Structure 1
Amino acid sequence: MAHLLGAENLHLEYPTRVIFDSVTVGLSEGERIGVVGRNGDGKSTLLRLLAGRQEPDGGRVTRRGGVTLGMLDQSDELPDDLTVAEAVVGGRAEHEWAGDARTRDVIAGLVADIPWEAQMSRLSGGQRRRTALAALLTHDWDVLFLDEPTNHLDVEGVAWLAEHLKRRWSPNSGGLVVVTHDRWFLDEVSTATWEVHDATIEPFEGGYAAYVLQRVERDRMAAATESKRQNLLRKELAWLRRGAPARTSKPKFRIDAANALIENEPPVRDSVALSQLAVARLGKDVVDLLDVSVSYPSENGAETEVLRDVEWRIAPGERSGILGVNGAGKSTLLGLIAGTVQSTSGRVKRGKTVRIAMLDQRLAELADIQHERISAVVAREKTSYVTGGKELTPGQLLERLGFTSAQLSTPVKDLSGGQKRRLQLMLILLHEPNVLILDEPTNDLDTDMLAAMEDLLDSWPGTLLVVSHDRYLLERVTDSQYAILDGRLRHVPGGVDEYLRLRRSAQQVQAAQTAAAGKPAAAHGGPVELTGAERRALEKELSSVERRMERTGHELGRLHDDFATHDQSDYVGLGRLQSRQRELEEQHSDLETKWLELSERLEA
């Protein structure tokens, strides 16, 4: 493969520490590199050095003549007076960019919901970020450097970006280097991984799953001081091999070696034991949303309905992820559960023993203690915290979340974004809520810290609700997923894949209806009308589906009550109930899909 760019004997140091020492790396045609490492170890700095945006103290960076390089930097700023159209397509005439399939695809995938003539100064931070990414991707580049490109993208946006990058170049051309904490995204786009650590760069074959295996093997052969990290990564590998076989089948790594490593590793969660503990802490009632709708007044005085007819009985010990596009109503749903949002109609019922805590994106819990040292904050908290049957002091909990003893004297305001998120989580856990809501918890965390947080949540015996664009995290810490589609909440037994299929199907139907409405009737003979007999047959089938949906819904409700009253020591009986629940949820999901199809045919 032809060389594109690289670095020889790279050296960089700051007054307090060495960032890189004698580092040599190269990128060749067809390579797709994912960069991982702890926060602050130099991942973003590496991209800037290789792109020529920062000069090293020693060594040199080389680039093959004529190679073009485009980069998305975390600090990229578009001028405030620039419009979205000017940023994305520049001065090109509409007929020029509209005739380019790639440009159309990028606009549809990233900025379709942003006003085309809006100025940058009027956009949110997330909209500006997506516009900057779209502006980069509409141009031709031999090499792309992307620094945290999935920030501010929802699950659909992340899936679109992964597919775009896989199709952007032919297999043996182009080069990609991406820094991201999104492990699903790394597995989708990467053919190799660079780990930045201890002033060096260590290469691994394959994406994130392959990297985990190779790193476990490396750690196993290392000194005993690596044992803590090794055990954590073994648990991660066990989940990868058991829970996501499709992911580990793509990289070329030794399946036998992986199976040997996890032979004695238990499942990441003991679901029955956790459910038993959750019922003991919560009782049978958690939060029930009963036929709840939420509307807000819009600018023209009319009501905008965000959620409608939501029916959700949250069970003790339930671990659920919530999916939906930006603006679908996920935060509104969380607010209903937490009690910060009032319903327009319907009823929200909370159990008497419920204690809800939310890890949100605003870090509001830290505002009053920002000038205090971590040690002082910890000293005021509980003397112990029990997790996985083990009692930990707050200091040990901090260590488990990646803090060193030297950092205990650091004021809260001087912590990095990732450290603040970890401290926020620790303070919430020490208050022992029994319902924990995580709203985009992966922001500012590296892959090691995400694994540590997931490990901690595995032994947390309460009800867990997660909203995140991080698909890996959702699949890792939750047992079921729900989606908000057109204001309604529905269970998606097939998880993120099923949600994306439903979204694509809805978009295709909408596009077809729009196209049909835009054509003159004479051109295609007008819309196809159903005959009376066809309409009656469809209405009869729809009525039958609705009755079956109602029956499965009632049976699921009875099953929920059975879980609460069942002997929690009867593991066999609980297992049967769980199997029946999965069976009913799959039936209900199939019926909902059928109902949507029939409704669309009747409305067409």
Structure 2
Amino acid sequence: MPPLIVAEKVQVAFPTAGPVLRDVTLGLAEGDRVGVVGRNGDGKSTLLRVLARELEPDAGRVTWRRDLRVGYVDQSDVLDPEATVRDVVVGDAPEHEWAGDARTRDIVAGLVPPDVAWEARIGELSGGQRRRVALASVLVRSWDVLVLDEPTNHLDLDAVVWLAGHLQQRWPAGSGAVAVITHDRWFLDEVCTTTWEVHDGTVDSFEGGYAAYVLQRVERDRQAAASEARRQNLMRKELAWLRRGAPARASKPKFRIDAANQLISREPPVRDGVELTQLATARLGKDVVDLLGVEVDLPDGRPVLRDIEWRIGPGERTGILGVNGAGKSTLLGLVTGAVAPSRGRVKRGKTVEVAVLSQSLHELDDVAEERVSDLVGRQRATYVAGGKELTPGQLLERLGFRTQQLSTPIKDLSGGQRRRLQLLLILLAEPNVLILDEPTNDMDTDMLTAIEDLLDTWPGTLLVVSHDRYLLERVTDQQYAILDGRLRHLPGGVDEYLALRERQDQARDFASSAPRDTVVEEQSGLSGAERRAVQKEIASVERRMERLAARVDILHERLAAHDQSDYEGLQTHTEELRTVEDEIAHLEERWLELSESLD
């Protein structure tokens, strides 16, 4: 494919950080979908700023195709606080123009929250809302290349899935290009066909998304006899999980590396679930927290949570899903005791000690002047992880702190370093129930892998609220969702949640488009609004059918690879396959009904 952007021997240095990029040569071509990974501070954002014409390199050359249009989304927005959402997203375009454009309507529906008024001023919005509006304002315009720096920040799971689909379909195959930094590993796998790893001033290119990158990186480290044994072991463990626990992702690479697969065969499962449950039961007993007929109302009487029946057991690892405002924080407050139920009862075990890793970094403000080593030194002298006794310093090393950083004042730590320090202090306090509230904020993929490795050995009950699908599937064994104020178990995991959310949206769209004085079935001539609603549902049904068809292929592969003497396992896969095929049949019927209504 012809190059769109070419960087040759690019060098960038900063007075305080020194050289960040050294003699980097790379290109971005038509059809490229590039994910950029690497440790925080290694130059990922600097590289993207150079490609987006936002930063002039100190040396080297960058060339862009003539008349190339590059859209850039930074981590921080520069929106005018006095402008309205309408001003930022569509400018002064008349409503009939932008509302008549299918892509603009889809972007607004996918990113601008329903509770954000079209005429609301930017200065009145929360940080997350501003981020969504800034992203929408770029996507509605026409670009040849999109350069996106952490676009999934502040997006809920539904919006992350929407953004992935938008980038996949934005240009015809083989045209346009994307370079994106994100710590969302599911997103990297879903969108990217190439991965750039930025490290030590250089950029290494790998074919494929995150799973393929991990596979090749393990092989690279093996061939180079890497001295970073701890880091290599983490990536081997990550690879083993990708191949065993996430076959949909691991099947994407179109190649097979025998040496790496030999490593996998010797790698034990990421967690010994039986042993961890036994340890958790010994620390907690059989009772942790029970929510019995619990309901919570707002001060004005409106319900937030209804009819909650939930028994949290020792050693359980549970992910909590839900859109922003669904009641996830309220549910966690019931578990910690910070929220009292309006009705029903909360029963806690006598030995329960809950700790929360919250989204706020202000918890360390009181110790901002202290050095890391002094603060950690006041905690426990040792910590047991995976049967091994570790000092706090060794724990800090596992979480990515270098020796020279131990003397750094806490106020000078980056956001990601503060998050890791928060987690370390919580673990050293030895709670037996741990709640992680959006733990991926400010983390790079390497640090997320290290934290997941540490959590694999943690013998307690774990509750995780996160929009990061990869993290949820990696560290939890079951998922629940808050839908319309009720807590629902998701045997089908995140895929089931997304299907339920899609049905909710379809029902709302169809209800809002139905004529008030006649039944829907009697429509003979649809109005423009009704026709758009039907077309939107048809597109939604088609996307769902595509995802389910891919799921059928995966299940067939699992059946073929499964031990044919394991009748129980075969039956489980067969039943799931039958369920998916039944849902496809139902969707096909719905598609026909909708199509006929447009005739």
What TM-score, normalized by structure 1, do the two folds share? 0.85
Distance 1:491 1:67 in 2: 48
1:601 corresponds in structure 2 to none
Specify the SS of the correspondent of 2:346.
strand
Distance 1:440 1:91 in 2: 37
Work out whether residues 514 and 520 of structure 2, in 8 Å CA contact, stay in contact via their aligned partners in 1: no
Could you tell me how far 1:524 is from its partner in structure 2?
2.5
Could you tell me how far 1:519 is from its partner in structure 2?
6.4
Give the direction of change, closer, same or farther, for the CA distance of 1:92–1:265 in structure 2 (3 Å limit).
same
1:221 corresponds in structure 2 to 223
2:186 corresponds in structure 1 to 184
Deviations along 1:119-158, one digit per CA (max 9) or x if unpaired, are 0011000000000001111111000001000000011110
2:43 corresponds in structure 1 to 42
1:7 corresponds in structure 2 to 7
Distance 1:256 1:246 in 2: 20
1:331 corresponds in structure 2 to 329
Distance 1:39 1:452 in 2: 14
Distance 1:169 1:136 in 2: 15
Could you tell me how far 1:435 is from its partner in structure 2?
0.2
Distance 1:153 1:194 in 2: 23
1:106 aligns with 2:104: no
Distance 1:364 1:117 in 2: 33
Specify the SS of the correspondent of 2:26.
strand
Give the direction of change, closer, same or farther, for the CA distance of 1:98–1:281 in structure 2 (3 Å limit).
same
Distance 1:491 1:225 in 2: 44
Distance 2:379 2:158 in 1: 40
1:356 aligns with 2:354: yes
Specify the SS of the correspondent of 1:262.
helix
Could you tell me how far 1:255 is from its partner in structure 2?
5.7
Work out whether residues 226 and 232 of structure 2, in 8 Å CA contact, stay in contact via their aligned partners in 1: no
1:80 aligns with 2:78: no
Give the direction of change, closer, same or farther, for the CA distance of 1:350–1:143 in structure 2 (3 Å limit).
same
Give the direction of change, closer, same or farther, for the CA distance of 1:522–1:141 in structure 2 (3 Å limit).
closer
Distance 1:94 1:523 in 2: 30
1:65 aligns with 2:63: no
Could you tell me how far 1:361 is from its partner in structure 2?
0.6
AA partner of residue 275 (structure 1): T
Give the direction of change, closer, same or farther, for the CA distance of 1:292–1:221 in structure 2 (3 Å limit).
same
Distance 2:46 2:12 in 1: 9
Specify the SS of the correspondent of 1:365.
helix
RMSD: 2.1
Specify the SS of the correspondent of 2:494.
helix
Deviations along 1:307-332, one digit per CA (max 9) or x if unpaired, are 11111000000000000000000011
Deviations along 1:21-68, one digit per CA (max 9) or x if unpaired, are 111110000000000000000101111111111111101111000110
AA partner of residue 450 (structure 1): L
1:156 corresponds in structure 2 to 158
Could you tell me how far 1:365 is from its partner in structure 2?
3.0
Aligned match for 1:499, one of 497, 500, 503: 497
Work out whether residues 113 and 129 of structure 2, in 8 Å CA contact, stay in contact via their aligned partners in 1: no
Work out whether residues 218 and 260 of structure 2, in 8 Å CA contact, stay in contact via their aligned partners in 1: no
Q: Which moved more, 1:256-265 or 1:63-72?
A: 256-265
- Could you tell me which runs of 5 or more consecutive residues in structure 2 were left unpaired when the two chains were aligned: 525-567, 588-599
Deviations along 1:449-476, one digit per CA (max 9) or x if unpaired, are 0000000000100000000010000000
AA partner of residue 417 (structure 1): G
Distance 2:143 2:250 in 1: 30
- Could you tell me which runs of 5 or more consecutive residues in structure 1 were left unpaired when the two chains were aligned: 527-577, 598-604
After the TM superposition, which residues 372-521 of structure 1 pair with which residues of structure 2 at under 5 Å, given as runs? Answer: 372-518=370-516, 520=518
Give the direction of change, closer, same or farther, for the CA distance of 1:419–1:519 in structure 2 (3 Å limit).
farther
Q: Which moved more, 1:34-43 or 1:10-19?
A: 10-19
Could you tell me how far 1:342 is from its partner in structure 2?
1.1
Deviations along 1:474-513, one digit per CA (max 9) or x if unpaired, are 0000000000000000100111100000111121122222
Give the direction of change, closer, same or farther, for the CA distance of 1:513–1:34 in structure 2 (3 Å limit).
same
1:540 corresponds in structure 2 to none
Could you tell me how far 1:226 is from its partner in structure 2?
2.1
What TM-score, normalized by structure 2, do the two folds share? 0.86
Distance 2:131 2:376 in 1: 36
Distance 1:288 1:259 in 2: 43
Specify the SS of the correspondent of 1:407.
helix
Work out whether residues 195 and 203 of structure 1, in 8 Å CA contact, stay in contact via their aligned partners in 2: yes
Specify the SS of the correspondent of 1:27.
strand
Distance 1:179 1:193 in 2: 10
1:347 corresponds in structure 2 to 345
2:174 corresponds in structure 1 to 172
2:546 corresponds in structure 1 to none
Distance 1:117 1:37 in 2: 39
2:97 corresponds in structure 1 to 96
Deviations along 1:279-308, one digit per CA (max 9) or x if unpaired, are 0000000000011111112xxxx4221111
Work out whether residues 78 and 132 of structure 1, in 8 Å CA contact, stay in contact via their aligned partners in 2: yes
Work out whether residues 219 and 227 of structure 1, in 8 Å CA contact, stay in contact via their aligned partners in 2: no
Q: Which moved more, 1:115-124 or 1:514-523?
A: 514-523
Could you tell me how far 1:517 is from its partner in structure 2?
3.8
Q: Which moved more, 1:205-214 or 1:221-230?
A: 221-230
Matched residue count: 532
Distance 2:122 2:520 in 1: 43
AA partner of residue 421 (structure 2): L
Deviations along 1:179-200, one digit per CA (max 9) or x if unpaired, are 0000000000000000000001
Distance 2:363 2:88 in 1: 37
Distance 1:179 1:62 in 2: 21
Could you tell me how far 1:520 is from its partner in structure 2?
5.0
AA partner of residue 116 (structure 1): W
Distance 2:207 2:427 in 1: 37
1:23 aligns with 2:24: yes
Work out whether residues 219 and 260 of structure 2, in 8 Å CA contact, stay in contact via their aligned partners in 1: no
AA partner of residue 219 (structure 1): D
2:284 corresponds in structure 1 to 282
After the TM superposition, which residues 128-167 of structure 1 pair with which residues of structure 2 at under 5 Å, given as runs? Answer: 128-167=130-169
Work out whether residues 287 and 313 of structure 2, in 8 Å CA contact, stay in contact via their aligned partners in 1: yes
Could you tell me how far 1:258 is from its partner in structure 2?
4.0
Distance 1:467 1:517 in 2: 39
Distance 1:57 1:363 in 2: 35
Distance 2:2 2:360 in 1: 46
1:235 aligns with 2:237: yes
Q: Which moved more, 1:89-98 or 1:503-512?
A: 503-512
Specify the SS of the correspondent of 2:400.
coil
1:294 corresponds in structure 2 to 296
